[in-house]
């Protein structure tokens, strides 16, 4: 019988969305041109050659190694690209993804990547052409809402702050802005350097849609523990209690 990963427990929309993120079975909502994604990332000018840190693997005369024979290199590794990054800040007000679920998505679905997880940002590093492809997938998919999520290489402050009156996540460097036409535009790259031209990222999700697609438990959305006075635990909590208990007892080890 073929193994079928279960990924995550729970029957709520949050549990279902978490499984979708982890499995990579994501809905595509928009199509940001590759050149625009490259510009926002800010590592190379769109159309410019990739910088490399070593010659293409085929030219390097690699040693006879069974692991190398089993694992095909990514396109970026094969070409010798340098390692670059994309980093996301997701609002706690029902952004579709959260740092850990972006990392789980990356670790499970993206070959040759190095995810890093913090509270206010989530970074994935990979060979440059690989990270460009992974970033476009994130930008285009339901993992991302263009008002509640943004790419921020530095000065990431904003995930836990109240939203702007127009529903945008706070960004002290104002890398994105709401246009009069209701579309969100990227005006600066990840580290806040102005772009040569604004990039139209499309319309943000409605609040209802964001709540439907989110992977965060919240008291005013899908609660994880019910409410004060009426606790009801999601299946994820039951699973977690079990894991915590076993970890604690394992540490005792009275053998």
Partner 1 sequence: MGIQAGVNGVIQMAVKHTKKLFIKALNKKFGKDFDLAGQKVEYKRLGIEQNARKREFMEYAKKVEGKRGMTGYNPYVHAGGIPMGQRQLVPYKLSGTEYVVEGDDLHFVNNPAIQQMWDDVRRTIVVGLDMAHEVLQKRLGKEVTPETINNYLEILNHAMPGAAVVQEHMVETHPGLVDDCNVRVFTGDDALADEIDDQYLIDINKMFPAEQAEALKAAIGKTSWQAIHVPTIVVRSCDGGTTSRWSAMQLCMTFIDAYNMCAGEAAVADLAYAAKHAAVLQMSEMLPARRARGPNNPGGLSFGFLADMVQTSRVAAADPVKVSLNVVAAGAALYDQIWLGSYMSGGVGFTQYATAAYTNDILDDFCYYGVDFAADKFGGFAKAPKTLDLAKELATEVNAYGMEQYELFPTVLEDHFGGSQRASVLAAASAITSAIASGHSQVGLAGWYLSMLLHKEGWGRLGFFGYDLQDQCGPTNVFSYQSDEGAPLELRGANYPNYAMNVGHQGEYAGISSAAHAGRMDAFACNPLIKVTFANPGMVFDWADIRACFGKGGAREFRAAGERSLVMPAV
Residues that bind partner 1 (CB under 8 A): 18, 92-93, 97-101, 116-120, 154-155, 157, 159-165, 167, 170, 172-173, 192, 215-220, 223-233, 236-237, 240-241, 243-245, 247-253
Helix (H, G, I), strand (E, B) or coil at 56: coil
Q: Which is nearer to partner 1, 53 or 119 (CB)?
A: 119
**C-alpha to C-alpha distance for 74 and 112, rounded to whole angstroms:** 7
Q: Which is nearer to partner 1, 74 or 86 (CB)?
A: 86
For partner 1, give the closer residue by CB, 78 or 161: 161
Q: How many CB atoms lie within 10 A of CB 161?
A: 15
Give me the long-range contacts of 238-242 (CB less than 8 A, separation at least 24): 238/9, 239/9
Give the whole-angstrom CA distance, residue 173 versus residue 160.
16
Alpha carbon separation from 95 to 47, 147, 215 (Å, rounded): 31, 9, 8
Question: Which residue's CB is nearer to partner 1, number 5 or number 229?
Answer: 229
Residues 229 and 212: their CA atoms lie apart, in Å, by 26
- Tell me the closest approach of the beta carbon of residue 90 to partner 1, in angstroms: 8
Least distance (Å) between residue 167 CB and partner 1: 7
Residue 208 CB, nearest distance to partner 1 (Å)?
14
Distance CA 161, CA 168 (A): 11
Closest to partner 1 by CB, 73 vs 115, is 115
Nearer to partner 1, 22 or 199 (CB): 22
Q: Helix, strand or coil for residue 18?
A: helix
To partner 1, the closest distance from the beta carbon of 132 in angstroms equals 24
Q: What is the nearest approach in angstroms of partner 1 to the Cβ of residue 1?
A: 30
Query: Distances in Å between the alpha carbon of 11 and those of 4, 143, 149, 234?
Result: 18, 19, 25, 8
As measured in angstroms, the least distance from the Cβ of 152 to partner 1 is 11
């Amino acid at each position: 019988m073929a193994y079928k990963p279960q990924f995550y427990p729970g029957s709520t929309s949050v549990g279902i969305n978490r499984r979708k993120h982890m499995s990579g079975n994501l809905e595509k909502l928009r199509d940001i041109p590759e050149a625009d994604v490259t510009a926002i990332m800010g590592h190379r000018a769109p159309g410019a050659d990739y910088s490399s840190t070593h010659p293409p693997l085929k030219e390097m005369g690699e040693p006879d190694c069974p692991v190398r024979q089993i694992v095909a290199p990514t396109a970026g590794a094969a070409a010798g690209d340098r390692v670059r990054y994309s980093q996301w800040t997701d609002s706690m007000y029902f952004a579709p993804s959260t740092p850990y679920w972006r990392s789980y998505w990356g670790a499970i679905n993206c070959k040759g990547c190095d995810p890093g997880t913090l509270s206010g940002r989530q970074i994935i590093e990979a060979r440059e052409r690989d990270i460009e492809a992974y970033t476009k997938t994130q930008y285009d998919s339901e993992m991302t809402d263009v008002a509640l999520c943004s790419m921020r290489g530095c000065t990431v402050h904003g995930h836990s702050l109240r939203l702007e009156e127009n529903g945008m996540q706070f960004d002290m460097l104002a890398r994105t802005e709401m246009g009069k036409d209701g579309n969100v535009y990227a005006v600066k790259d990840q580290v806040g350097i102005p772009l040569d031209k604004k990039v139209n990222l499309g319309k943000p999700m409605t609040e209802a849609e964001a709540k439907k697609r989110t992977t965060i438990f919240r008291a005013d959305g899908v609660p994880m523990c019910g409410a004060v006075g009426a606790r009801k635990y999601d299946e994820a909590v039951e699973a977690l209690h079990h894991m915590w208990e076993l970890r604690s007892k394992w540490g005792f080890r009275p053998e």
